[in-house]
Structure 1
Amino acid sequence: MNRKSRLLFIITAVVLSTFFLFWGLSKAKGFFAPLMMGIILSLIVLPLAKRMERKMKRSVAALLNSIMLFLLSMGLMAIISFQLRSLAEDWPRIKEVMKPKIEQLENFALKHTPLSREDVKEAKNGSAVQDKMTSGERIADFMNKVTSFVANYFLTFIYVFFLLNYRHIFKDFLLNVFPDRKKETVKTIITESARVAPQYLIGRLILIVLLVVLYSVGLGISGVSNFILVSVIAALLTLIPYVGNIIAFLMAVVFGFVATGDTFTLVGIALTFTIAQFVESYVLEPYVVGDRVDVHPFFVILAVILGNMVWGVIGMILAIPVMGILTVVLLNIKELRPFGILMSKKEFSE
């Protein structure tokens, strides 16, 4: 095999291996997504667990931390559920207000785009066909999704307990897999990797709470209906870099301006998001989050897109801490260091 053929073979093997790796991950989402979420959550509470272990058994500390995370997630879900119930009550009124605006949008699209009325009717008929599921099929589909969600939801906190309680086993396994000359490098990777995820996500959670307050004040004054729900979702969407802010703004416009038609509401929404983005980018982000994850913005975008393709919203949320850990690993392995330098946002003079 000559040099060109060998290079072509290697490139083909890498491309196919990468494709089947991510294809396999997408198919095994039900297994890997809760496990990965459990790993990240266990890393977040690891410093607290270590402090608690000074006064109690490790198993008790692990159990208490798992319960604490579970109760926090239930509280967040309760807030969103309460707001969704309020939205459901207001939906008939919002739907009536939005109806003429949707018609105006259709007329604008028909006038200024190549779309025809037949295309619009075909799209409506397509959605109507999808809505013709029997009640039994809908119930079965709903129950299947609920069962899958509940199972993965509880599995995540079970994983947190086991990972915290038996973390020494995993550490000893990694240290014994590699030869003695590599043990110091492995220890460095474990220490730095364990610090990346909690530092980033704890900073991001503090940022989310502050943004919820900012959004709630601004959107509430602007007259956006269900402004608490919109504020919470908008703040949570900041976990998805770049794209999340755009989705949050469009959602606020739908619940605000489109639902009421008030120009003051639209101006208020625009001012709220402008001020919030300024405060987030130049005040909160540098001091609350800072440079907690050493990943170049270009690869952050790629990771978020890939995470969405593989695991959806959960993949987008986990993309940045996973990329941060991967960068740490690459930078500390001599043979793979060039790839770590490529993904890092630090400048290397060597």
Structure 2
Amino acid sequence: MTDTPSDTPELDPQEIQSPEELVRGMTVSQRGLLLALVIFTGLMVYLLGPVLTPFLVSMVLAYLGDPIADRLENLGLGRTTAVCTVFAFVILLLVLALLVVIPGTVRQLHHAIQLLPELGNWLQTTLVPWLSQYVDIHPELFNLKDLSATLSGEWQKTGSLLKYVGGAIGGSTMTVITFFTNLFLIPVVTFYLLRDWDRLIANVGQMIPRNLAPTVSTLSNECDDVLASFLKGQLIVMCLLGLTYGLGLWLVGLQFAMLVGLIAGLASIVPYMGFIVGIGVALVMALFQFDTWLPVGGVVIVFMIGQMLEGMVFTPLLVGDKIGLHPVAVIFAIMAGGQLFGFTGVLLALPVAAVIMVLLVHLYGNYKGSHLYHASNES
């Protein structure tokens, strides 16, 4: 069945500027095809989630690496050479992490677990009596002996990597095969996706119906701006904040500086959460470790400097004034994606949230300009 002129109102493609007008500008067949694609995609994600995981991880990595490869191309390198350069840089970072950051963090985490009983005793004998002057609090709330014993036991169980892998192989050979297959697939798929990323995007753009292409291109660019401002910018900000906090706390002399910096950096995926979590943990550790107030003040100064750097340097340079995802939207998207589709849903959560946010912004603007918003009380 072919479309007739009555299937859709006549719209100039250049005038289509919102999702509402985009839908009105689609033919009946195009609407049916779009609905079928949405249903088919959702069904495939639900049924093939574990299989799709390495490909989605590779797509995220390629998306993050494409701007770097493009810049290297602009400097005169070929696309393949630029991609190889990006891979070499990433491998160097991974090697440094494996040799320096990860072992030190693991040692600090193990030491922190062993100190939990002593920390709990300090909390019960020092902090709780002071807090009891202002609020009603029970000392047993800070009894960390049982927690320390449990964590130490789990640590001993997983302390030997070879023993853990051997047990996993004996218990589920297919799971281990799948794990190592994905581990091999991710860099391979990422390489080819990154090498052909611009061509793939161009090919997808050529598949969009010509009457919808201008608006789809505009909306896609807006979605990319939102996602890039959060995903690319915020991830780099997280790393810089973690490094800043860790180095600053190390200069202060805090015993678990690297671990606290890592926690604060990871929590910074939600704006301001890293500052709140990091300074809270660091102050408790500083009060527990030091007998004077000077290092405690140093901890506060470190986090204040980190916060100023984030607000005046990191975020303006790396994120800019683009519209980002609201922290509540980030939390909800990640939790909803994980609940619906597992780890695959977590990977898809932020891109889908970025698309939904752009559409909602346009729909809200249309609503504010519609008769539904400006309707009078006249009957």
Shorter-chain TM-score bucket reads: 0.5 to 0.7
Distance across 2 between alignment mates of 1:179 and 1:89: 57
Distance 1:88 1:67, change over 3 A: same
Q: Any unmatched runs of 5+ in structure 2?
A: 1-37, 371-379
Contact kept in structure 2, 1:204 and 1:289, CA below 8 Å: yes
Cα distance in 1, alignment partners of residues 84 and 250 from structure 2: 39
CA–CA distance in structure 1, aligned partners of residues 146 and 247 of structure 2: 42
1:42 aligns with 2:62: yes
Structure 1 residues without counterparts, runs of 5 or longer: 1-16
Q: What residue identity is the alignment partner of 2:254?
A: V
* Deviations 1:293-347, CA, capped at 9 Å, x for gaps: 443454234224435656899977975555334434x36xxxx9427x69xxxx9
Deviations 1:162-197 (A, max 9, x none): 222333563355335432211223333444444544
Q: Does 1:156 align with 2:156?
A: no
After the TM superposition, which residues 137-156 of structure 1 pair with which residues of structure 2 at under 5 Å, given as runs? 140=166, 152-156=182-186
Determine whether 1:82 maps to 2:112: no
CA contact (8 A) 1:239 1:317 kept: no
Q: Tell me which moved more, 197-206 or 178-187.
A: 197-206
Q: Distance in 2 between matches of 1:207 and 1:123?
A: 33
1:160 partner letter:
T
The answer to whether the Cα contact below 8 Å between 2:263 and 2:278 also exists between their aligned partners in 1 is: yes
**SS of alignment partner, residue 181 of structure 1:** coil
1:161/1:203 Cα in 2 relative to 1: closer, same or farther (>3 Å)?
A: same
The residue that corresponds to 1:68 in the other structure is 89
* Residue aligning to 2:217: 187
Kindly provide the amino acid, as one letter, of the partner of residue 188 in structure 1: T
Question: Do the aligned residues in 1 keep the contact of 2:65 with 2:86 (CA within 8 Å)?
Answer: yes
Amino acid at match of 2:90: L
Q: Is the Cα contact below 8 Å between 1:211 and 1:235 reproduced in 2?
A: yes
Match of 2:363 among 329, 334, 338: 338
Q: What letter matches 1:166 in structure 2?
A: D
TM-score (norm 2): 0.59
Distance in 1 separating the partners of 2:343 and 2:49:
12
Structure 1 CA distance, aligned partners of 2:139 and 2:119?
A: 24
Whole-Å Cα distance in 2 between the matches of residues 126 and 93 of structure 1? 11
Q: Is the 8 A contact 1:215 1:231 kept in 2?
A: yes
Rounded Cα–Cα distance in structure 2 between residues aligned with 1:89 and 1:131: 8
**Counterpart in 1 of 2:278?**
248
For residue 79 of structure 1, what is the amino acid of its counterpart?
V
Quick one: structure 1 residues 34 and 193, their matched pair in 2 at CA, closer, same or farther if it must change by over 3 Å? farther
Structure 1 residue 220 corresponds to structure 2 residue 250: yes
**C-alpha displacement at 1:215, in angstroms?**
1.8
Query: Using a 3 Å threshold, how does the CA distance of structure 1 residues 28 and 77 change in structure 2: closer, same or farther?
Result: farther
Residues 161, 349 of structure 1: alpha-carbon distance in 2 compared, 3 angstrom cutoff: farther
Q: Which residue identity does 2:104 align to in structure 1?
A: Q
TM-score w.r.t. length of structure 1 = 0.63
Look up the match of 2:208.
Answer: 178
Checking the alignment, whether the CA contact within 8 Å between 1:43 and 1:198 is kept in structure 2 is no
Change (3 A) 1:337 1:85: closer
Give the letter aligned to residue 38 of structure 1: S
> Hey, what does 1:306 align to over in structure 2?
336
Deviations 1:15-51 (A, max 9, x none): xx99xx69x76x9664445433432332233233234
Cα distance in 2, alignment partners of residues 104 and 91 from structure 1: 19
Shift of 1:238: 1.2
Deviates more, 1:119-128 or 1:84-93: 119-128
Q: 1:139 to 1:262 in 2, by over 3 A?
A: farther
Give the Cα–Cα distance (whole angstroms) in 1 for the partners of residues 272 and 88 of structure 2: 33
Contact 2:226–2:325 under 8 Å retained in 1: no
Tell me how far 1:241 sits from its aligned partner: 3.5
How many residue pairs end up in the alignment?
316
For 1:95-139, what per-residue CA distance to the aligned partner results, in whole angstroms no more than 9, with x for missing partners?
A: 564353366599989x945989xx999989988998997999955
Q: Distance in 1 between matches of 2:119 and 2:215?
A: 60
Deviation at 1:236, TM superposition (A): 3.6
Question: For the Cα contact (< 8 Å) 1:224–1:256, is it kept in 2?
Answer: yes
RMSD (CA atoms): 5.2
Counterpart AA for 1:40: V
Match of 1:277 in 2: 307
Distance 1:84 1:237 in 2: 16
| Contact 2:337–2:348 under 8 Å retained in 1 | yes
Q: Distance in 2 between matches of 1:114 and 1:94?
A: 18
Structure 1 pair 65/320, CA: closer, same or farther in 2 (3 Å)?
Answer: same
Amino acid paired to 2:261: S
In 2: Cα distance, 1:250 partner to 1:308 partner: 28
